[in-house]
Amino acid sequence: MGIEYYFSCTPKALTELEAFLLQSGWKRTEGDPRRFDYWSVPQQPNAWPAATLSLEKTRIYYCDHGGAKEFSAFLFRRVIDQLLTYSDDSDSIVIRSI
C-alpha cells in the first residue's frame, strides 16, 4: 500500500524509461519484467521498497510506499524529469492520483 499514481506520457518516453530505471538503481522484480522496485535500504524479507513502478502499454503505474518524504519526492521528481526529457511539451505528461 502507498500513494498511487498513473503517469500518461509519450510512447518515446515510455520506451526510454526502462533503461533509465536500471541505470538509476531500480531493480526489476521477479516474475514481471516490466515492474521495478527501488530500495533505499538493503532488501529484506517482509519489507516494502521505497517505490514500485510498472511500465504498462500506454502509461506508467507508480506507487510511493510511504518512506521518508524527502527521498520519496526525489524519486518522484527523477521519474518525471526523465519523462519530460522525451516528451513534446509539459502537456504530454499527465499525472493522476488513484
Distance from C-alpha of 93 to C-alpha of 98, rounded to nearest angstrom: 16
Domain ranges of the chain: 3-97
Per-residue pLDDT of the chain (98 residues; tens, 9 = 90+): 689 999 998 888 888 999 999 999 999 999 999 999 999 888 888 889 999 999 999 899 999 998 888 888 999 999 999 988 888 766 678 889 98
Q: Provide the CA 76 distance to its chain's centre, in angstroms.
A: 7
What is the CATH code of the structural domain delimited by 3-97? 3.30.310
Of the candidates 3, 20, 4, which has an alpha carbon nearest to the alpha carbon of residue 83? 20
